């Protein structure tokens, strides 16, 4: 029996400590997914909390057809998308790229960068901000699918289960998101180089 299975079975019987073990195991990944979808730390925190509350309440109805990880990510994505739709914060998506870029720019190790000179850091920060702004400009369906595939590095089959869509749709969305990003980033480079 896997560690998830043992904790899950005990949690389904009301063991809060077992559920706490599941929360600790997946909290960072749930948070990262929410942050990439929402682009705002406060909103991501809200989604993480709501995700685990929903998971706790839904444990008894969890049928095990998908593994716990897939089920939890489906809750995370749906909760984050509902949060986007509710538009609790005016302009949250417009600010998303700047907020995440500020976070990444302040911590080079967060994006896999060793120590840089101030000039290199500035160029990197501008590049990261441009990419994040382009990602924030994608539709929520394309953005979520791209995040799950490229940031979370989940296989297309698992993304299809999480989003409850065919695997071919996952592949199309990832390709379409990449195409749009290439277009937008290419247009931004041309505009930046114009006199």
CATH number assigned to the domain comprising residue 49: 1.10.1740.10
Q: Supply the pLDDT for residue 190.
A: 47
Helix 16-38 vs helix 92-106: crossing angle, to nearest 10: 100
Q: Supply the pLDDT for residue 101.
A: 47
Instruction: Tell me the C-alpha distance between 48 and 30, whole Å.
Output: 6
Residue 121 lies in a domain: no
Q: Supply the pLDDT for residue 37.
A: 84
Instruction: Tell me the C-alpha distance between 156 and 166, whole Å.
Output: 9
Residue 114 lies in a domain: no
Number of C-beta neighbours around residue 149 at 10 A: 20
Residues in the chain: 195
Number of domains, the chain: 1
Residue 24 lies in a domain: yes
195 residues of the chain, pLDDT tens digit each: 577 888 888 988 889 999 999 999 999 999 998 888 888 889 999 999 999 999 999 998 888 788 888 899 999 998 988 888 775 444 444 445 444 444 444 444 444 445 556 655 555 566 677 777 888 888 888 988 998 898 888 899 989 988 889 999 999 999 999 999 999 888 655 455 544
Q: Supply the pLDDT for residue 138.
A: 86
Q: Supply the pLDDT for residue 119.
A: 58
Q: Supply the pLDDT for residue 46.
A: 93
Residue 169 lies in a domain: no
Q: Supply the pLDDT for residue 121.
A: 53
Where in the sequence is the domain holding 39, given as residue range(s)? 1-88
Residue 1 lies in a domain: yes
**Angle at 12 (CA atoms; ends 10, 15), nearest 5 degrees:** 50
Whether the Cβ atoms of residue 104 and residue 116 lie closer than 8 Å to each other: no
Residue 167 lies in a domain: no
Residue 166 lies in a domain: no
Residue 79 lies in a domain: yes
Q: Is the dihedral of CA 43, 45, 35, 54 positive or negative?
A: negative
């Amino acid at each position: 029996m896997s560690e998830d299975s043992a904790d899950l079975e005990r949690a389904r019987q009301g063991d809060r400590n077992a559920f706490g073990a599941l929360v600790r195991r997946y909290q960072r990944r749930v948070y990262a997914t929410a942050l990439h979808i929402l682009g705002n730390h406060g909103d991501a925190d809200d989604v993480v909390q709501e995700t685990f509350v929903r998971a706790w309440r839904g444990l008894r109805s969890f049928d095990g057809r998908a593994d716990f990880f897939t089920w939890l990510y489906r809750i995370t994505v749906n909760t984050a998308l509902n949060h986007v739709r509710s538009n609790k914060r005016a302009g949250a998506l417009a600010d998303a790229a700047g907020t995440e870029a500020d976070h990444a720019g302040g911590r080079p190790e967060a994006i896999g960068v060793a120590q840089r000179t101030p000039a290199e850091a500035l160029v990197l920060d501008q590049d990261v901000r441009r990419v994040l702004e382009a990602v924030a400009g994608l539709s929520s369906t394309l953005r979520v699918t791209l995040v799950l595939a490229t940031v979370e590095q989940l296989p297309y089959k698992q993304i299809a289960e999480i989003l409850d869509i065919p695997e071919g749709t996952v592949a199309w969305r990832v390709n379409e998101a990449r195409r749009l990003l290439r277009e937008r980033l290419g247009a931004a480079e041309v505009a930046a180089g114009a006199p």
